[in-house]
Amino acid sequence: MKRGYRVEKDYLGSKKIPSQVYYGIATQRALENFPISGLHFSMKLVQALAMIKKAAAIANKRIKRLDENKANAIVRACEDVIYGKLNDQFPLDVFQAGAGTSEHMNINEVIANRALEILHKTRGSYGIIDPHDHVNLGQSTNDVFHSAIHVAAYQAISKQLFPALHHVEEALQKKSREWKSIKKTGRTHLRDAVPLTLGQEFGGYAATIANDRKSLGKIYSDLLKINLGGTAVGTSVNAPERFRKSMYKELYAMTRAKFHPGNLFGETQSLSTISSISSSLKVLAEDLIKIANDLRLLSSGPTSGIDEVELPAVQPGSSIMPGKVNPSIAEMVDMVGFYVISNDTAITLCSQAGQLELNVMMPLAAHALIHSIEVLTKALDIFSLHCINGMKAHKGKIKDYVEKNPLLVTALTPHIGYQKASSVVQQAYMKGKTIREIILEQHLMDEETLNKALK
């Protein structure tokens, strides 16, 4: 198509639209109104919107509200969007008018113009296929956009985030088994504490990730409840029952997920499910930050830190200090965690900001939720592959710390009492000796009993 312009009209007036694009006047207005951040919605959300549009077109054809040729063209256009052939046609900023109306009209226009092209008609010939009257038949932004968030988030969690969580949990469990016999100094308050094994420590990390996965698993199925078919406020105006049932049937055929209508009024008013999912992601982020920071501490040094474990060297660590290696992957995990927590704060504010029949803060909530899932998934994959799997234990250093740890005396308090044990600890620190040496020097226990107690 030659570069140039076509003119489209709405009830606010006329606009020139670049001839080569599939979007129309509503998208053009939004581009002009909201040049805010340069952030765009995930293609997962766009694809979910296209799935809903495809389901609606098939449903409308089935109940004979939409001509078969038009419906088939719309379906083919939807499939082009679903398969990523038109990704460059969704340029709108995340920060836009409430409810997602701009993004919704963007996809309606793209599908309409692609469908016109499939029918060998000129883009903008809306008398043949109209973004409102045909692509959006029986739908509203208020049910379509909200439902698309659920569809996109559910699929991203089930198909991508859960496998990534499993990989991290599995990697930590493998290290727990590998290091089950390595005794090490425990630490509480960043001070020496009673010993445990390195395997037990990493088994704790694995259990934490398992708990996060299970917690998310208990609530993410709430995303299956959607308000599709409720249209503007939940009353299903312009969406007859046969159409609604057929739409859900087609959505299942595409996703193999059992999306079903919740209370259409409640689902339209509230972002509570999205907020709950985000809250679980926040807890996961908190735990990942804790684990990543532990790895940074345990690998600190190597000459002046703890240096019990070695993280894989993935890149040079300094532009000025030759040979320096940093815990780069763990640092990345930290920053991803911070970002997810900030997204949860944004979603919390979006969730409480709804009024009456509709929460209009959906665009930001959609972006924040889906992007949190995406960055967590990628960070988890990299964390397991490029960090945890390649970690090594410095057994000599670990053994040295254990032997010098005065708080081994905790195991001896049943034999010599708390007060004597405290005195032994202080002497060990002052004299630079081991607990074993102090106990035997002062004849507080015989060697056989001491060995059994320390074991």
pLDDT in tens, 162-213: 999 999 999 999 999 999 999 999 999 999 998 999 999 999 999 999 999 9
CATH 1.20.200.10 residue ranges of the chain are 143-183+197-237+261-393
* pLDDT of res. 1: 44
Q: What is the largest CA-CA distance in the chain?
A: 101
CA distances from 164 to 178, 202, 274, 378 (A): 21, 18, 21, 8
Q: Which residues are catalytic?
A: 318
Report whether 20 contacts 86 (CB < 8 A): no
What 421-429 contacts at long range (C-beta under 8 Å, 24+ apart), as own/partner pairs, is: none
- CATH for the 5-137 domain, from 3.30.450.20, 3.40.109.10, 1.10.275.10, 3.30.1220.10: 1.10.275.10
Report whether 117 contacts 123 (CB < 8 A): yes
CA distances from 428 to 202, 375, 407, 411 (A): 29, 48, 10, 15
CATH 1.10.40.30 residue ranges of the chain are 405-454
Cα(215)–Cα(399) distance, integer angstroms: 37
Residue 284, Cβ neighbours under 10 Å: how many?
24
CATH 1.10.275.10 residue ranges of the chain are 5-137
Q: What share of the chain is helix, strand, coil (3-state, %, to 5)?
A: 65, 10, 30
From the list 82, 80, 225, 95, the residue with the least C-alpha distance to 150 is: 225
CATH class of 405-454: mainly alpha
Q: Is 177 exposed, middle or buried (0-12, 13-18, 19+ CB in 10 A)?
A: exposed
First to last CA, the chain: 81
H helix intervals, 256-323:
264-269, 272-298
Cα(419)–Cα(294) distance, integer angstroms: 32
* pLDDT of res. 112: 98
Residues in the chain, pLDDT under 50: 1
* pLDDT of res. 2: 54
pLDDT in tens, 53-94: 999 999 999 999 999 999 999 999 999 999 999 999 999 999
CATH architecture for the domain at 143-183+197-237+261-393:
Up-down Bundle (1.20)
Cα(310)–Cα(98) distance, integer angstroms: 49
